[in-house]
Structure 1
Amino acid sequence: MALTSLPRELLSEIASHLSNSDIGEWRLACKRFSLVALHIDRVFISANPKDIEVFRAIADHETQRCMVKEIVWDEGRFEEDPRSTWCCHDWARHRQSPDTPPKGYARACKRNLDEIHRRRCEYDADLPHHLDKQARMEKAMAVQESWRHYRGYLAQQNVVLADDLDIKAFEYGLERFTTLRRITLTPAAHGFTFMPLYRTPTIRTLAAKTKDNKYMNYKLPRGWPTSVDDAPLEARNWNTEADKEPWRGFINATRLLAENQGPSVTELVLDVRQLLTGLTCRFFDNPCPEFDHLVAVLRRPGFRRLDLALMVGGQEYDGWKSLRNGRLRLALEEVSSNLEHIHFGTDVRNDPDWRGQNLSGGHPEHFIPLGNLLPLRRWPRLRHFGLSKLLVRQDDLLSLLAKIPKTVRTIELSFLYFLDGGGSYRGLLEDMRSTLGWHTLDVAERPKVVIKLDMHREGFNLYGRALWLDKELDHFLYGGGKNPFGHGDDEWSSNSVFAGEGGGTERDEFDPAHERPHAEHPELVRLGIHKRRYGRQY
């Protein structure tokens, strides 16, 4: 029987096992195959006309619009030229023209290439994903040419922003996507150079090879205030329209949902992927329409998922007022009792002493009981509970874990920083095993615990890259295995997992091909991941 004679239902079943790129080529083969629909369950919106064009085309397609379950709003924005206010005399005095890249843009492009080098260990073997990035680096267009392309995208973006075309398209999508469930807002869509987090239509055009076989290295748009080093930015005020403007997508998405549009939406995700950013915690300082809109979304019947990431820089000097004033908890208390997934995180760094003051010394003003923030008992159907980048105490966190609903199946405790004298990861795991009684539950009811830890190289934090502990924790908590954290008496050892001793897997959320055991160099050589060091034999 010829493939073209198969019923449409069988063709669709075959297509379900193919990628969208393969289906796209298949659809071009003949008219019969063109009836096979792409698997489109996620669409993208941003302040770029290409994303809006594709978004509206899917919204207008009577078959594909019914498949969409998630809208990802890319909040990254191309930045204006800081010299845009210069007069002709300024340009002449500096001997520049608008075609000359700004110094900040040139520095960002150089920093991009440095980041690629940092993310590759000097001993890494020539694996395919390294060779691909190396080839792109060698064919990266000159900064001046990159700036010319960047200005074109910026001009298109400004047209979109002037007429609110992205907001209008999003509103249209809420009407057309009848099975929509999740709204994701992210400043991290562009990921890192040659390693995007999401391959949106716009990012695909940016990543495409040009006619002269060049690749574009450009200043990565973030949109939300985002630190480019290990020092968190100070949380921005939430008073004026200028203060709020970076979170334009969040503001309009929650406003439209609060107006009861997109009635099937029950999930709200702020996706920062370890970047030092988030919604400013000053959002919770005072009553405002945006707070009311968020609460209205959280109150939705059947609301089931919230991923909330906050930027809290500077709060350590002000007694953490924005987290202590009760308005964050007030909002979370309004979340539907149907909530199944909660992940709460901030941009706290592991060295709060970065401004020369010992802020992690266990002082009461730096400790906020987690129970004051998270009303766990109001969510009896919770299945996932996650915390990341918080200052914690071991006893307080253990007390919170003892109160989680028995419905919880996964727990994430990532990048947590224990206050001085406040315990450690090692001690926490010991107490979890000895006091929570989870090992007495049926296997299917035992919570699966995941911990992610920062990965550093040459003094830099590699955002998105982490040491994952999962099966090691399962073995320790339920199988009598050893504690993966160090046995030293000092706090550094008891919060560290040493290569070749505690297990774990290195993963990179921006580079899925980077996955390797947390092992010593000889083992990585044996596995073909590292090259042999010069002058050393194993």
Structure 2
Amino acid sequence: MTPCLQRRESAGAFSHLPIELLEQTISSLSNQSIKNLRQTCTFLSKVAQLRFDRLFISTNPRDIEVFTAIAQDDTLRLGVRKLIYDDARFWDKYTTGPEGHAFQSDIRVPHWYQYLYEEQLKKARDILEKDTGILDHIKISDDCHESYKHYQELLQGQTEVISQGRDIDALRYGLTRFPNLTRVELTIATHGRQLEPFYHTPTIRSLPQSLIYPRARGWPGTDPHRNPFWTEPWDGDETRNWRGLSVLTREVARHLRENPTSSINEFSIDVNYLLAGINLHLFENTDGTEYTDLVTILSHPGLKRFDLPLDYGGIEYPDDSAPLFDNVYKLLSHATDLQHVSFSTNIDFQDNDLWGIIGRDEHCFPLRSILPIDKWPNLRHLSLSRLFVKQDDLRDFLAALPPTLKSIELSFLEFTPWYRDCYRGLFEDLRSTLGWQDRAREDQPKIKVLVERRGGKVVDVSAEAESYMYDGEENPFTIGSDPFYTERRFYVFYDVGIEVDLFDLKYRQLDFPNYREARSYHVRHLL
């Protein structure tokens, strides 16, 4: 018997399936499932090949080791299509918990860590209680000392990598080794929520699955235990707060200058709706390193996607932000081939103190003064999130979008003046003026809308918004939202939409272009 036949014999029932069917089935599995499958028999260990189309790099040694190993492999490197730079950081200190919060424990574990550990442990138990059947295999361990030990190892490794610049060297080398790379992404959302990472990086996979630890986050303003962050001018000290951005834009821009025919056509800065973004002051100096590097990236021929979240903290007066948005416009004007654009800020409209700091009208800029849509004739997707908008300006802006548009997101928007403009009026205008409902079903732009209820709960009303626009159903939005009174801050009726956790693994499946189908799956699993 030949070795191939012997392997098929050992595969049992799998041996009778056509190899094409096996390959198609295996292609739908995660790498972790493929690893388990490969261990079942010799035949499947040959047929089920791991995929390395997506690679992670960060300031963690384990991620760099795996990244470099694949970059050095002459076969695996050819399959890499997506590179994600994880800019989340493990911090060595936090603001401590509430005054007088006492712990009876070993002093070797710092007070701040014990406080955050207790908080994260409670969140983990809440998740396990809610997601029964999905995370039943996870048994959390209430061992703060063990958690702190792992955390210190992660922190030490991160510190050494940054001091030696190992991530920079690895990234520069990797960019030259991935000829089929098309997408580069910068993210701070990697660690997701407790027990459910947003991405399973090599570093996260190396940790015990049940390990409870403070979520690593990146960029100022993402630590919920610190006071709201006010951005400073973009100089040497401030740029260190966004180190990953500086590193990634510099190395990608260098690579594109040296390789003008590079296949990279997507550059994404992803925060997954966290209240975070790039310091808006970066756009003060168009001769600055990061700005010129971004110009190089957006000028690259064939660039199809760009996602830009901005940190608006500390911008009190419109005269401060107007010239900055002018430079955002100039930057985006370089990318004439864009098909997918998302633009957001980190403004927390649920913050009652916000309304005593900034005025709505003064910070509501015409959208066409920020986003050069006339430069994007092939635009297919546009996402707007956490912006001050005027109803008529947004309506006219959407009416000017090219007919190539396939999907639109309008999430967490604040209308001004609040007593006149609102989501309800906007959608009435859109339905009566755009004529999208008259298009064939497959040509109707898909619509995504997320809003916040009191307490910061996120509600997805996308299906209801589409039903109103295209099927003549009821308008799901309320007349208006009064920002000055929390109890009057409404966007949709209470029986409309579904509450979602944006870091819930089930909700992550809901994305364009298969949004409608995926949402029905999600609703069934919430019941």
TM-score range, shorter chain: 0.7 to 0.9
Matching residue's letter, 2:450: K
Q: Which structure 2 residue ranges, 5 or more long, are not aligned?
A: 10-14, 96-104, 509-522
TM-score (norm 2): 0.83
**Native 8 Å contact 2:60 2:203 kept in 1:** yes
Q: Spell out, residue by residue over 1:54-82, the C-alpha distance to the aligned partner (whole angstroms, 9 max, x if none).
A: 11222223332222211111101222358
> Where does residue 38 of structure 2 map in the other structure?
27
Give the superposed CA RMSD: 3.2
- Please tell me the residue identity of whatever aligns with 2:73: H
Identity score, percent? 35
Runs of 4+ residues over 6 Å off in structure 1: 5-10, 117-120, 488-494
Give TM-score scaled by structure 1 length. Answer: 0.81
| Equivalent position of 1:150 in the other structure | 151
Query: Is residue 103 of structure 1 aligned with residue 96 of structure 2?
Result: no
Once the 2 structures are TM-superposed, how far is the Cα of residue 51 of structure 1 from its aligned partner? 0.7
Are 1:397 and 2:425 an aligned pair? no
Q: 1:323 to 1:199 in 2, by over 3 A?
A: farther
Query: Residues 191 and 197 of structure 1 are in contact (CA less than 8 Å); yes or no, is this contact kept in structure 2?
Result: yes
Unaligned runs of 5+ in 1: 84-96, 210-214, 516-525, 531-538
| Counterpart-to-counterpart distance in 2, 1:431 and 1:113 | 47
Equivalent in the alignment of 1:268: 267
In the superposition, relative to structure 1, how do residues 328 and 17 fare at CA in structure 2: closer, same or farther (>3 Å)?
closer
The reply to whether residue 239 of structure 1 matches residue 235 of structure 2 is yes
Residues 279 and 14 of structure 1, relative CA distance in 2, 3 Å threshold: same
* Structure 1, 226-235 or 263-272: larger mean CA deviation: 226-235
SS state at 1:308 partner: strand
Distance 1:17 1:318, change over 3 A: closer
Contact conserved, 2:419 with 2:481, CA < 8 A, in 1? no
> What does residue 428 of structure 2 align with?
430
Q: How far, CA to CA, are the matches of 2:441 and 2:526 in structure 1?
A: 35
Q: Which residue of 1 aligns with 2:514?
A: none
Summarize the alignment of residues 118-517 of structure 1 with structure 2, pairs less than 5 Å apart.
127-129=132-134, 135-136=139-140, 139-142=141-144, 144-206=145-207, 208-209=208-209, 215-229=210-224, 232-240=228-236, 242-261=237-256, 263-286=262-285, 287-317=287-317, 319-321=319-321, 324=324, 326-335=326-335, 337-351=336-350, 353-354=352-353, 357=356, 359-360=358-359, 362-363=360-361, 365-419=362-416, 420-421=418-419, 423-455=421-453, 459=455, 461=456, 466-486=458-478, 495-500=490-495, 502=496, 504-513=497-506
Aligned position for 1:87: none
Distance between the aligned counterparts of 2:452 and 2:25, measured in 1? 41
Give SS of 1:385's match: strand
Match runs of 1:32-111 below 5 Å? 32-36=43-47, 37-80=49-92, 100-111=108-119
Per chain length, whose mean CA-contact separation is higher, i.e. which structure has more relative contact order (CA < 8 Å, sep 6+)? 1
Change (3 A) 1:102 1:428: same
Q: What are the Cα deviations for residues 325-371 of structure 1, in whole angstroms up to 9, with x where unaligned?
A: 51111101111x221100000001114641561634x44x2221111
In the TM superposition, what whole-angstrom CA distance separates every residue of 1:415-439 from its partner, at most 9, and x where no partner exists? 1111234500111000000111222
Bigger fraction of residues in helix: 2
CA distance in 1, matches of 2:136, 2:76: 36
Flag the 1:505–1:355 CA change in 2: closer, same or farther, 3 A.
closer
Distance 1:232 1:115, change over 3 A: farther
Q: Is the 8 A contact 2:121 2:142 kept in 1?
A: no
Question: Which whole-Å deviations, capped at 9, do the CAs of 1:81-101 have from their partners, x for residues lacking one?
Answer: 589xxxxxxxxxxxxx99723
Q: Judge conservation of contact 2:419–2:480 (CA < 8 Å) in 1.
A: no
